Structure 1
Amino acid sequence: MGKGGSVTSTYRVQLTPDFGFARAAELVGYLRELGVGNLYLSPILQAVPESLHGYDVVDHGRIRAEFGGEEGLRALAAAGLPLISDIVPNHMTVPVPESGNAQLWAALRDGPGSPEAKWFDFQWPVALPVLGDEPGGLRVDGPILRYHDHEFPIRPGTEHLPLPELLEAQHYRLVGWRESPGYRRFFDVSSLVGLRVEDPEVFAATHAVTFRLIEEGLIHGLRVDHPDGLADPGGYVRRLRPHVSGPLWVEKILVDGERLPADWPCDGTTGYETLNMITRLFVDPSSRESLIETFARHTGVRDDYETVTYQSKKQVIERFLRGEVDRLTAALGDPALRDAVVELLAAMPVYRAYANPGERPPEESVRIVADAARLAATRADPDAVAKTADLVLYGPPEAVVRFQQTCGPVMAKGVEDTALYRWYPLAALNEVGGEPDRFGVSPAEFHAFAAGLPPRTMTTLSTHDTKRSEDVRARLAVLSELPREWAMAVDSWASVVSFDPRLDYLAWQNLMAAWPITVERFTDYLLKAAREAKTAISWMDPDPTYERGVREFARRAVEECGYSVAAFTEVVDRYARAGSLGQKVVQLLMPGVPDVYQGTEITDFSLVDPDNRRPVDFDRRRRLLADPDDSWDGQKMLVTTTALGLRRRIDPEAPYVPIEAGKHAVAFARGDRAVAVVTRLPVGLERRGGWRSDTITLPHGRWRDLLTGCAYTGRVPLAHLLARHPVAILEG
């Protein structure tokens, strides 16, 4: 907390059954010394007992028992750091056994007339995709229908019917596990069932505990998970705001240039748009064509990113989201529009356009749908597309809402979880909300972006959902300055070990950037990447032979090429350290509330979840905080704690003032209190002979570099300012 009780920074911890409230409380002293303002918790309501992430909530009325329950939460709150909590309004889990979700159980038992039925976005009778490929396994056990580990309630009065008649008499239908469920779900995850928080009673019931915790002062602010899945995200935020006097952030993915709707009364997003802009700042755009050519040569992919994205969206729509499209088409009232629906969804460039039934859609929403319709009209009947575009903006309420709710899954599964695993010339750019065909931004572009940020929006570099941690991306960014050296290295590795050209090149990038990495971690990453790419296998279409090939490739790549990968990574690290420290300084001192993801106060070379949710060695971090050495880890700790400390002394409203620093540095001031200076494109800097006579002109006054203790005024040679560290943190 800083001036006037405002939030200065957050530190995100991933709670698990092995790391609950008591373990988090043990960190409070360390985090306060680090300079953290608020402790930011993953979801705290009761989830599936074994859950490692907490987004699979089963009971909104209880604090999670595995974490220590409400007593444990109170003890954590009393430890001294104000708490931010992640909440999940969009969905609950369909647990196994299903009796673990009381509201779901009652709704399935008592049908559409039950009080619990309004909780869920059901299509009656509700299709439940649980049946395996082998017949049999169903049995009646009193009031329960059992199928292996699954349990389903039997409608009262039907218990004694013969099994075929009993199945027909239920409010649900058991269908094959690959089929679409009879409910809105989270993306294509059938085990997460969508909630109808637009209903006042459901809103009240699902938020009662959270609001009580806020009223009692145990929770200071909220992070809202995936509001785009809701029927009316803006309306939800407006209902939520009066209950939250502290910070309120929404996990909204903004595609480049997109802005958060102006009428949402929240402090901002969770920072993916900032993450992507910071990453691009450290990428050399001059290598674009060279890296694309190396990628194409190794993978055989000659299509551009736009084409790959379209193909990926079409595949996930037809293969994994058929139920959602069928339901949307039915809401439009014209089965002949299905092809137009598919093409309009595939053409949408953002996660949602924010049109609400009965309201005049914003001009920006109309423009987005119109642009998508023009593109879709080149791929489907233009008249049908025009009619569809009109209906999803002005048509039946259900059609308007369902179109909005389907755009997100198409983007998330088609782009995030498919296209980004198929088109990856420089994987540092393949982040949530990223555009991998946009190589780099200039300092001027970055300054314009940063100056326009809301003062209390969240900024981040790593999260529990990032594809690669910040330091993995820092290493990969260096490849944009070493494209020829990289091409030669990957050619040599590929000549020794190869498996699937569509996967191998992604494997080599991540092996280098996450090095050192165990065979097990590398194998787990590649299996997930292959399943997400969906070019050979998917989560729904396993292939044991292919998966054995992935495992063998991973083992051989580490064992036979590891020494060479290590040597190349050692060269990369001479430059990646500057990018790692630079992006940390920029994020911690630019406008917004910076979040530090658990462990990233020193280097962290994690890949996509669950790899990035592994336990953190806090003992090592405590030692480095007490005595930072000159290693990369020690320098990153020093930079993090220094910047967090200064951030506490900066007014959140302090203006962002760009400072001219040339091609190889980025600098800005925050009012008259702080100046940040960081190195960018260090390979090019070295090749030109260093800083030479480059200078920077500091704002009026006397400035002290908090990292070195040196004082500066006026015009300063960059060779002096950045002699000891590749970054400077100045306080006036």
Structure 2
Amino acid sequence: MTDPVKPQAPPRPTATYRLQLTPDFGFAEAAELTSYLAELGVSHLYLSPILQASPESRHGYDVTDHSRVREEFGGMAGLRRLAARGLPIVVDIVPNHMTVPVPESRNARLWDVLRHGPGAASARWFDLDWIGGQVALPVLGPGADPEAEVVADGDVLRYHDHEYPLRGDGRPAGQFYRLVPWRDAPGYRRFFDVSSLIGLRAEDPEVFEATHEVILRLVAEGLVTGLRVDHPDGLADPRGYLARLRERAPVWTVAEKILVEDERLPGDWACEGTTGYDALNMVTRLFVDPGGEEPLLDVFVRHTGFPPDYDAVRYEAKKQVLEEFFTGEVDRLTREVPELREAFVELLADMPVYRAYAVPGEEHPEETLRIVRAAAEAASARTNPEAVAKAADLALYGPPETVVRFQQTCGPVMAKGVEDTALYRWYPLACLNEVGGEPDHFWVSPDRFHRYCQGMAPHTMTTLSTHDTKRSEDVRARLAVLSELPAEWAEAVAEWSAQVSFDPKLDYLAWQNLMAAWPIGADRFADFLAKAAREAKTSMSWADPDPSYEEGVRAFAARAIEVCGPSVAAFTERVDRYARANSLGQKLVQLMMPGVPDVYQGCETTDFSLVDPDNRRPVDFAYRRSLLRAPGGDSWDAAKLLVTASALRLRARVGADLPYVPLETEGIGRDHSVAFARGERAVVVVTRLPAGLERRGGWGCAPIGLPQGRWRDVLTGVPHTGRVPYAHLLARYPVALLERG
């Protein structure tokens, strides 16, 4: 007998387009875009989570039922109709958690656990901490009177909009849960510090099968041809999970893994790569002028009073979130060794990455040992070195529960301490403050960028904007210009601050984002600043709101626009002379570098969105469709759409596996351009640091040598060969995309 032939995996994408589905924009609306997206040049449609979530959810990561495609989007029938439009589909899946909804009965699995306790059929689904036979549910509001507010109603216990199953004589006591104040730690692992998202045990084969039932069926039927895995670092065994997923769903898969600086994706993960934040940060820094670092840092320190040392701010932020939000996680980690609590806290605060990938019972990779030992060395300077050494040893070689729990705690502490705290406190140049970014690592040289690209996995995802970026790519393109105009920027901020001020810890972030998102309405601007203030946690936070402070934020936002708007507009107009080049340059680099490029909804033209929910606003696709049908024109939007469509279509023609070959540049070209070839089929040349280029008098007669052969710029139709003056090559656009022939 011959071995059965495995079904052939579907083709990998050449490019994807991410759509954020909402109750207002479901499968039917997505289907209307498939012809436009195919014409744009993407090969695959990339959808936000599609399983049943809370009915009102605008993002879909709060799954309530893994057995159904979301009704608000059109259900299974709607998904089939979308797939029938012919554009292959990639979906975002959420293996780490599901929601604790209100009312709680919306989650049948959770309801089963609350009703039947540890013996429930669904008890193995969740990462629960049974203390005294009960799970703590943090829902009681400030000053709540449980005797009066928690009431029995038949076989249900009600607390305002919450409801829980009752057993026995119907009294609140004697249940498998206990209601505790909302600030208390929950009796379950959660997503970061979000108690409304309960951790799943995807490492359990039965849980894996049940939570992936629909997704695996869609893959088997060919309706889904690629997967994006949300937050694998939260899982007990990311490597094992991805291996099981690949075995059951042998399709192109990328993982939302946040890599910091030189960190690389674990080589034994069964996926093609990451969702692209590593590429995003490298591309952004490629367009930042190193000469602006010191003057912008000086302006930042002078205006905010924050220290010039980012490491100190990051450490303090991580310590703060550990003490305010993660006491329950630390309690659970140190339950058997309470005397090591402080040592574990310091070790967690000094971990430089989201996870070090220690696997119980296995010999640890050298990189894992290096990371944990470096953190232990730093922590030893702050507390008892012997205790830290013991904690580090337990984190690496202790009981499996301790090793895994430590790994699962590192990610939330990094996410909340760095992404959602430190990056809102330390922002000399806010375009560097992205997920996985290190704002004190100011720039990268073309040579370093080339080395990075040569080491990339060929089918990893790349991106410039996502539903989680703190600023869209074009906001960052404007901000990067400040590194070339630090003196002018300092003068402008001094002028604006003299007229309108509120909180020094927030104002300087406000001026950067007001300029970079201009024009922006007062409500949008105020919403952004209020969120930024809550995340920074210096004057208010999500846990400790301050209505009077927020009122001040909103008054500042309105007055800043009213008083300084004309001046901000004038400064932005000056910035845009150079930001346009940054915008087109970073877009072309991202679309043509190794990997599978993703275009976030609407970003084929300019988009000046800030952090969510601002970046999930409806997109004017009719406008973009009209531009695509009538190419040409000198507007920034028209140029960006031309670059996007031309690059996507070229990638589809030449394929994704071509070698990345840096092109030699010299003189002014070495400082102000980035150039590379993809095999012998395509050449990319983009302008870098355009303001500095202008100060040097432009390109002059400086040439760039093209690879042998005849080339045609697909943006302009102009042929080129041999050594070509930059001024000629980049006469129409600040970028060139050449195809052989």
Structure 2 length as normaliser, TM-score?
A: 0.97
Verify the 8 A CA contact 2:10 2:251 in the aligned structure 1. Answer: no
Task: Give the equivalent residue in structure 2 for 1:173.
Answer: 178
Task: Give the equivalent residue in structure 1 for 2:92.
Answer: 86
Once residues 417 and 320 of structure 1 are traced to their aligned partners in structure 2, the CA distance between those partners, rounded to angstroms, is: 12
User: Offset at 1:693?
Assistant: 2.2
1:629-673 Cα shifts (integer Å, max 9, x gaps): 210000000000000000112232210000123110000000000
> Is residue 68 of structure 2 the alignment partner of residue 62 of structure 1?
yes
1:1-30 Cα shifts (integer Å, max 9, x gaps): xx9933100000000000000000000010
Choose from 255, 269, 279 the match for 2:284.
279
Choose from 624, 630, 647 the match for 2:634.
630
Choose from 459, 463, 469 the match for 2:462.
459
Q: Which runs of 4+ in 1 moved over 6 A?
A: none
Task: Give the equivalent residue in structure 2 for 1:681.
Answer: 689
Task: Give the equivalent residue in structure 2 for 1:162.
Answer: none
Once residues 244 and 514 of structure 1 are traced to their aligned partners in structure 2, the CA distance between those partners, rounded to angstroms, is: 41
1:576-631 Cα shifts (integer Å, max 9, x gaps): 00000000000000100000000000000000000000000000000110113210
> Is residue 131 of structure 2 the alignment partner of residue 153 of structure 1?
no
Task: Give the equivalent residue in structure 2 for 1:479.
Answer: 482
Counterpart amino acid of 2:379? Answer: A
Once residues 325 and 562 of structure 1 are traced to their aligned partners in structure 2, the CA distance between those partners, rounded to angstroms, is: 47
User: Offset at 1:303?
Assistant: 4.0
SS in 2 for 1:657: strand
SS in 2 for 1:168: coil
Verify the 8 A CA contact 2:296 2:429 in the aligned structure 1. Answer: yes
Query: Could you say if the C-alpha distance between residues 4 and 51 of structure 1 is closer, same or farther in structure 2, counting changes exceeding 3 Å?
Result: closer
Task: Give the equivalent residue in structure 1 for 2:127.
Answer: 121
Once residues 259 and 374 of structure 1 are traced to their aligned partners in structure 2, the CA distance between those partners, rounded to angstroms, is: 22
Choose from 653, 656, 659 the match for 2:660.
656
User: Offset at 1:497?
Assistant: 0.6
Once residues 444 and 133 of structure 1 are traced to their aligned partners in structure 2, the CA distance between those partners, rounded to angstroms, is: 56
Once residues 250 and 635 of structure 2 are traced to their aligned partners in structure 1, the CA distance between those partners, rounded to angstroms, is: 42
Once residues 318 and 326 of structure 1 are traced to their aligned partners in structure 2, the CA distance between those partners, rounded to angstroms, is: 11
SS in 2 for 1:559: helix
CA RMSD, aligned part only?
0.9
1:510-589 pair list within 5 angstroms: 510-589=513-592
Once residues 582 and 360 of structure 1 are traced to their aligned partners in structure 2, the CA distance between those partners, rounded to angstroms, is: 44
Task: Give the equivalent residue in structure 2 for 1:163.
Answer: none
SS in 1 for 2:551: helix
> Is residue 424 of structure 2 the alignment partner of residue 421 of structure 1?
yes
1:165-219 Cα shifts (integer Å, max 9, x gaps): x333011110111111110000000000000011110000000110000001100
Once residues 314 and 638 of structure 2 are traced to their aligned partners in structure 1, the CA distance between those partners, rounded to angstroms, is: 41
Task: Give the equivalent residue in structure 2 for 1:51.
Answer: 57
Once residues 727 and 260 of structure 1 are traced to their aligned partners in structure 2, the CA distance between those partners, rounded to angstroms, is: 31
Once residues 688 and 373 of structure 1 are traced to their aligned partners in structure 2, the CA distance between those partners, rounded to angstroms, is: 49
Task: Give the equivalent residue in structure 2 for 1:130.
Answer: 139
Once residues 213 and 122 of structure 2 are traced to their aligned partners in structure 1, the CA distance between those partners, rounded to angstroms, is: 16
Choose from 34, 54, 68 the match for 1:28.
34
User: Offset at 1:363?
Assistant: 1.5
Verify the 8 A CA contact 2:699 2:727 in the aligned structure 1. Answer: yes
1:597-616 pair list within 5 angstroms: 597-616=600-619
Task: Give the equivalent residue in structure 2 for 1:725.
Answer: 733
SS in 2 for 1:437: coil
1:507-547 Cα shifts (integer Å, max 9, x gaps): 00000000000111001000000000000100000111111
Task: Give the equivalent residue in structure 2 for 1:396.
Answer: 399
Once residues 257 and 244 of structure 1 are traced to their aligned partners in structure 2, the CA distance between those partners, rounded to angstroms, is: 30
Choose from 247, 258, 262 the match for 2:263.
258
User: Offset at 1:568?
Assistant: 0.3
SS in 2 for 1:302: coil
Unaligned runs of 5+ in 2: 1-8
Counterpart amino acid of 1:377? Answer: S
Aligned residues: 721
Once residues 534 and 388 of structure 1 are traced to their aligned partners in structure 2, the CA distance between those partners, rounded to angstroms, is: 29
> Is residue 220 of structure 2 the alignment partner of residue 215 of structure 1?
yes
SS in 1 for 2:390: helix
SS in 1 for 2:671: coil
Once residues 301 and 116 of structure 1 are traced to their aligned partners in structure 2, the CA distance between those partners, rounded to angstroms, is: 48
Verify the 8 A CA contact 2:372 2:392 in the aligned structure 1. Answer: yes
Once residues 158 and 223 of structure 1 are traced to their aligned partners in structure 2, the CA distance between those partners, rounded to angstroms, is: 47
SS in 1 for 2:32: helix
Choose from 54, 77, 84 the match for 1:71.
77
User: Offset at 1:158?
Assistant: 3.1
User: Offset at 1:571?
Assistant: 0.3
Task: Give the equivalent residue in structure 1 for 2:3.
Answer: none
SS in 2 for 1:181: coil
> Is residue 718 of structure 2 the alignment partner of residue 710 of structure 1?
yes
Once residues 13 and 251 of structure 2 are traced to their aligned partners in structure 1, the CA distance between those partners, rounded to angstroms, is: 8
Once residues 6 and 302 of structure 1 are traced to their aligned partners in structure 2, the CA distance between those partners, rounded to angstroms, is: 47
SS in 2 for 1:111: helix
Task: Give the equivalent residue in structure 1 for 2:505.
Answer: 502
1:45-96 Cα shifts (integer Å, max 9, x gaps): 0000000000000000000000000000000000010000000000000000
> Is residue 233 of structure 2 the alignment partner of residue 228 of structure 1?
yes
Once residues 87 and 265 of structure 1 are traced to their aligned partners in structure 2, the CA distance between those partners, rounded to angstroms, is: 16
Unaligned runs of 5+ in 1: 160-165
SS in 2 for 1:61: strand
SS in 1 for 2:240: helix
Choose from 301, 307, 314 the match for 1:302.
307
Counterpart amino acid of 1:84? Answer: V
Verify the 8 A CA contact 2:456 2:594 in the aligned structure 1. Answer: yes
Verify the 8 A CA contact 2:307 2:313 in the aligned structure 1. Answer: no
SS in 1 for 2:59: coil
